[in-house]
Amino acid sequence: MLKTNSVGLTISAVPLLNNISIDCPRGSVTALMGPNGAGKTSLLKVIAGEHKASQGRVEINGQSREDWKQSEIAKFMAVLPQSSTLEFAFTAQEVVALGRTPHATGLLRDAEIITGALAKVDASYLAQRSFVQLSGGEKQRVQLARVLAQIWEHCEGDSATDGILLLDEPSAAFDLAHQLMLIEIVQQIAARGVTVVMVMHDLNLAAKCADQMVFMNCGQCTAVGTVKELLTPELIAKVFSVDAEVITHPLQGTPMVVV
Amino acid sequence: MKRLNTRLITPQLCAVILLIMLPLVSVLGLMTGPVFIPLSDILSIMLAGDGAANGSNSQEKLIIEIIRLPRVMLSLIVGALLAACGALLQGLFRNPLADPALIGVSAGASVGASSVIVFGSMVNSGGVMLGLSAISMGAFGGAIVASVIIYRLATGPQGTSVATMLLAGIAISALAGAATNTLSYLADNDMLRRISLWQMGNLQGASWERVGLGALTAGCLAVLIPRETGALNAMLLGESEARHLGINVEWLKRRLIIYSALGVAISVAIAGVIAFVGLMVPHLIRLLVGPDHRSLLPLSALAGAILLVAADALARVVIAPAELPVGIVTSLLGAPFFLWLLVLQRGRS
């Protein structure tokens, strides 16, 4: 579904990414992890098409990223950036409605989707509120609803094509309950065939939903594998320079990192 | 906390109010002036057509047909152009405080007009094209040159940076201001007066040719701009967000800059610099109905048209039989109203 083949990125003579190859099959959840400045967001931006890869290439559905028309790709791929700078007093509902820009599904269908997307991120009560007056976490939830609305058919599993969702630190502003809500949404849409790639800092949160983890450091891909393969004290020490213990969750059996 | 609506009125209600005000204000504009023409005479002149003009009525008919009607129409067109272009630019720059002066159009136009006033007397300045005097042509040329320079400065291999454009606009405006000041310094008393009057905006030169030119421009923009409203809304989220929503952002920016530069340059050429309308009207409409460009742009155009007709009518009567430059009136009328809205908004939030 989504592949990067030896992708490199150099901007103004500064190498940001070097020889990154990852493979995200349909319906998989990939967590990009690593210290600040490791190149996680840069990689996401290359996949999203914001930066053109200096070396290698990104493949979407077996086709090179550059061969896709932006208006076509927007119909099945949505991107949630780290932060938003909307300074105009749209209501939350209108912000979510912007997610339907690439589609021509009609006002009635769009209204249904907007209501559904707001409900999904627990933001129905915000629908008529002015976006600029929301708190950071509320804003991020509304933006999440917007990107879900953009690929709603894929998230609901009633589309002939497969969706892609790119998330850049989606949970950074969320409280505990909404972090878990995010994990649930990601698992649900991945089960319906949406390929998710997300940048995350919380190892334990990522461990709950990722099929594949990518450890990055200094623009290099240090390790790629399953949660069990990567969450080892040795690798964590190597990538994050932190001494940590890895134990098993008493009920769920997933690995847990304790610092 | 539960507040169901953050807007003052719905776009539909706003449209109804403005559409009722538009003909009322236009008729008021036809009535007022050095010679007061009562409503009944206006109706009979407008409805009767060519027949049955007698005595004083035929004089009134001439005033309406040759002076007031083109002037009111020109005010409608210029007001609508300025307000709609202001709304476009505020969307493009994602800054509710952007106005046409920011892309250097007004400053460039001032240099063009002042140059013609100062140097034009040396050459033959009698030429009139499309109803535009040499001064207007100078203003139009200056406006276009300034916006092209700013656009080129802000456009690199990565595309056009609106942030650079803002800064370049400020710098070019300062440079153009210095050039205008130099020209004013060189000018004699009569030229100086003409330069400063031109900078205050004026609709005195209204003629059917100018109405035609303005209407043509406004008509083209009225067809082209509505296609961009959805994309403009997405642009408010940010350029990369708009790109992820499938919009070709570079081409969109280019089109919006061309539309707004053209609209403002034409209105500056036919009416001089009229401050306030392009900045305040869209802001006001946004406070009333929200930032959705699908309603913001047409409603701004309507409100801008109404404001300018009303301001021009007022400009003709406050110090009658002399006339106040309309740019002064737009600011005097609009600024307090705008401040009142701001206070109202502050009270609500």
DSSP sequence for B20-47? HHHHHHHHHHHH-SSS---HHHHHHHHH
Inter-chain contacts counted by CB atoms under 8 A, chains A and B: 81
Q: How do the domains of chain A map onto residue ranges?
A: 2-76+151-258
Find the mean pLDDT for residues B221-226. 94
The whole-number pLDDT of residue A83 equals 83
DSSP string, B79-123: HHHHHHHHHHHHHHTT-TT--GGGGTHHHHHHHHHHHHHHHHTTS
pLDDT surpassing 90 at residue A188: yes
The whole-number pLDDT of residue A248 equals 87
pLDDT surpassing 70 at residue A116: yes
pLDDT surpassing 90 at residue B59: no
- Please tell me the distance from the alpha carbon of residue B105 to that of residue B61, in angstroms, as a whole number: 38
CATH tag for A2-76+151-258 (out of 3.40.50.720, 3.30.450.20, 3.40.50.300, 3.40.50.1970): 3.40.50.300
Answer whether the bond into residue A81 is a cis peptide, omega within 30°. no
Cα dihedral: B156, B159, B165, B167 (round 10): -60
Q: In this complex, do A91 and B237 lie within 8 Å of one another by their Cβ atoms?
A: no
Q: Does B348 touch chain A (CB under 8 A)?
A: no
The whole-number pLDDT of residue A47 equals 94
Q: Tell whether B32 is covered by a domain.
A: yes
Find the mean pLDDT for residues A89-94. 93
Nearest to A89 among B238, B241, B291 (CB): B291
Q: Is B246 helix (H, G, I), strand (E, B) or coil?
A: coil
Residues of chain B neighbouring A88 (CB-CB closer than 8 A) = 94, 96, 236, 286, 291
Q: Tell whether B293 is covered by a domain.
A: yes
Of A27, A193, A185, A192, give the one whose Cα is nearest residue A118.
A185
Domain range for B283 is 11-348
Q: In this complex, do B234 and A101 lie within 8 Å of one another by their Cβ atoms?
A: yes
Which H or E element spans position A207? helix A203-209
Nearest to B246 among A71, A81, A89 (CB): A71
CB atoms < 10 A from the CB of B343, how many? 10
On average, the pLDDT of chain B sits at 85
Contacts for A132-135: CB closer than 8 Å, 24+ residues apart = A132/A86, A132/A87, A132/A88, A132/A89, A133/B6, A133/B349, A134/A92
Q: In this complex, do B245 and A129 lie within 8 Å of one another by their Cβ atoms?
A: no
| Domain of residue B28, CATH code | 1.10.3470.10
Nearest to A98 among B240, B245, B286 (CB): B245
Q: How far is A126 from chain B (nearest CA, A)?
A: 9
pLDDT surpassing 60 at residue B129: no
Q: How far is A61 from chain B (nearest CA, A)?
A: 17
Q: In this complex, do A98 and B349 lie within 8 Å of one another by their Cβ atoms?
A: no
Q: In this complex, do B95 and A74 lie within 8 Å of one another by their Cβ atoms?
A: no
The whole-number pLDDT of residue B344 equals 73
Q: What are phi and psi of B269, to 5 degrees?
A: -65, -40
Domain count, chain B: 1
B273-320 pLDDT tens trace: 887 888 889 988 998 899 999 999 999 999 999 999 999 999 888 887
pLDDT surpassing 70 at residue B9: yes
Q: Tell whether B2 is covered by a domain.
A: no
Q: In this complex, do B241 and A81 lie within 8 Å of one another by their Cβ atoms?
A: yes
pLDDT surpassing 60 at residue A97: yes
Least confident of A227-236, B31-40, B86-95: B31-40
pLDDT surpassing 80 at residue B212: yes
For residue B346, what are its two tokens? 């502050």
- Residue A78 bridge partners (DSSP): A165
pLDDT surpassing 50 at residue B4: no
The whole-number pLDDT of residue A128 equals 92
Best residue in B244, B288, B349 to probe A by mutation, most A CBs within 10 Å?
B244
Q: Tell whether B4 is covered by a domain.
A: no
At position B318, the amino acid (one-letter code) is: V
Q: How far is B98 from chain A (nearest CA, A)?
A: 13
Q: Does B227 touch chain A (CB under 8 A)?
A: no
For residue A90, what are its two tokens? 């749209």
Q: In this complex, do B290 and A89 lie within 8 Å of one another by their Cβ atoms?
A: yes
pTM for this structure?
Answer: 0.88
Q: Does B343 touch chain A (CB under 8 A)?
A: no
pLDDT surpassing 80 at residue B125: no
Q: Tell whether B117 is covered by a domain.
A: yes
The number of CA neighbours under 13 Å toward the Cβ of B270 is: 32
Nearest to B349 among A50, A85, A133 (CB): A133
At position B112, the amino acid (one-letter code) is: G
